[in-house]
Amino acid sequence: MKRIPLFVKIFIGIIGGVLFALLLLQFEGGKQLIQDWIKPFGTIFINLLKLIAVPLILASLIKGISDLKDISKLSTMGFRTIGFYLFTTLISVSLGLLVVNIIQPGESISEETRTELLSDYSQNASQTQAQAVTQKSRGPLSFIEDIVPENIVSAASINSNMLQVIFFALFLGIAIIMLPETTTKPFKDFFDSFNEIILKIIDIIMLAAPYGVFALMASLVADSPSLELFQALLWYGLSVLLGLATLIFIFYPTMLYLFTGRNPAKFLKQILPAQLLAFSTSSSAATLPVTMEVVENNVGVDNEVTSFVLPIGATINMDGTALYQSVAAVFIAQAFGMELSLGAQLGIILTATLASIGSAAVPGAGMVMLVIVMAQAGIPEAGLALIFAVDRPLDMFRTMVNVTSDSTVATIIAKGLGKLEPR
């Protein structure tokens, strides 16, 4: 009997979770039942994925860099990776501004709806603003300063410090390359073995993926606010989705075809398991193990490239988040009746690009960075409450874009380095 592919099982879990929640919500106590007995399994699944995020990055990066055996290869791959990631982020922000200025979703928000949303979500908005106060008060180069950890053990204990872990892994990998192979072989052999063990742990965890996403989707439906609030923000959501769809179905396929000659439709099918998991978890970091597996096994990108490009992309390449931040900022300004000048919108492009680099690869992190983008453009921070109602569903879609971008860039880099197998 033919085995059911993983992405089909995950898709069944997503649909099943939604239908199950909708059915239970028709009965009294159904929502509480989901929160008490279903949601914990979704949380456990996400925690399992986060559990291996730091070990995976340490093992894969150190192994990937040390396997290069030549410092010039590292610089070539590194410059190309950072260059492509910055390019895709700038395009994403600019596309977001173009879409939101054409559709102007903020014009559809009535005063009554705005007042209701501000009242319902003012507490959440205040919490997010408080988290961003420290970020806003720091200098323009603070994100570079934060890359260098003062204690690697402390940095590795928090997933939001993933950039610091990557810095340490890069530093360690470079040192291994610079030393004689006879000196570093025992240490390198340890990380080669450690990497294989982590990959096996990923295989074990993924056996529970369909059940994990079932629980995640059921709890999301149960926790959703009223339908009326979603309807009031329909045009905003459509603007974000239009921009994200343009990236996935037009921009990335075009890049892929121009640089690699690959069939875009076939490529999207190959990375579908990672896209679906990104959709259900809203976390690029949690999806990273699956992203690496499908890009390497399905797409044919060499491990030397995936172990370097993808962990970095999961941390600094947030195209979906960057597009969302630009759309959300202008939408809120429109809802408040503000006219943003060309200079203000150019400032949004720069700030959203830098903010997306600093965003943690976990659910909702982009919301904190959005406060910084809004402050730069002079947009009232209280307007943040306007988009809380639909932030989580849109977060799921923009995480799909983040993962698609990472996979596309990894394939392009592999092709340029002759590390892409025929598929």
**Nearest one of 276, 356, 351 to 317, comparing CA atoms:** 356
pLDDT tens readout for residues 373-395: 776 676 766 666 667 656 767 88
pLDDT at site 369: 64
- 405: amino acid identity, one letter: S
Task: Return d(Cα 140, Cα 155) in angstroms, integer.
Answer: 22
Residue 421 domain-assigned?
Answer: no
Q: How confident is the model at residue 162 (pLDDT cuts 50, 70, 90)?
A: low
406-423 pLDDT, tens digit per residue, is: 999 999 999 999 999 987
- Helix or strand or coil: residue 97? helix
Q: Which of the four pLDDT bands, split at 50, 70 and 90, describes residue 345? A: confident
Q: Is residue 97 part of a domain?
A: yes
The mean per-residue pLDDT over the stretch 293-303 comes to: 93
- For residue 378, how many other CB atoms are within 10 A of its CB? 12
Give the lowest-confidence range in 84-88, 100-104, 136-140: 136-140
Residue 78, Cβ density class (10 Å: 0-12 exposed, 13-18 middle, ≥19 buried): middle
Q: How far apart are CA 267 and CA 261, in angstroms?
A: 11
| Residue 268 confidence (pLDDT) | 95
Predicted confidence at residue 253, as pLDDT, reads 96
Task: Name the least confident of 123-132, 187-196, 362-371.
Answer: 123-132
Q: Is the pLDDT of residue 330 over 90?
A: no
Give 301's strand partners.
420
- Domain of residue 128, CATH code: 1.10.3860.10
Range of the domain at 367: 6-416
pLDDT higher than threshold 70 for residue 103: yes
| Residue 410 domain flag | yes
- Whether residue 140 is predicted with pLDDT greater than 70 in this model: the reply is no
DSSP 106: G
DSSP string of 13-77, one letter each residue: HHHHHHHHHHHHTTSTTHHHHIIIIIHHHHHHHHHHHHHTHHHHHHHHHHHHHHTT--HHHHHHH
Structural domains in the chain (count): 1
**Average pLDDT, stretch 312-324?**
83
Average pLDDT of 224-228?
55
- Which one has a higher pLDDT value, 54 or 296? 296
pLDDT in tens, 2-28: 678 776 788 888 889 889 998 999 999
Q: What is the pLDDT of residue 313?
A: 85
Nearest to 308 by CA among 110, 58, 103, 70: 58
Phi, psi (degrees; rounded to nearest 5) at 104: 50, 65
What is residue 346's three-state secondary structure? helix
Lowest mean pLDDT among 53-57, 109-113, 223-227: 223-227
So what's the pLDDT on residue 27?
92
* Residue 73 within a domain: yes
Q: Using CA atoms, how far apart are residues 225 and 105, in angstroms rounded to an integer?
A: 20
1 has pLDDT over 60: no
Residue 1 lies in a domain: no
Share of the chain above pLDDT 70, in %: 78
What is the predicted pLDDT for the residue at 346? 78
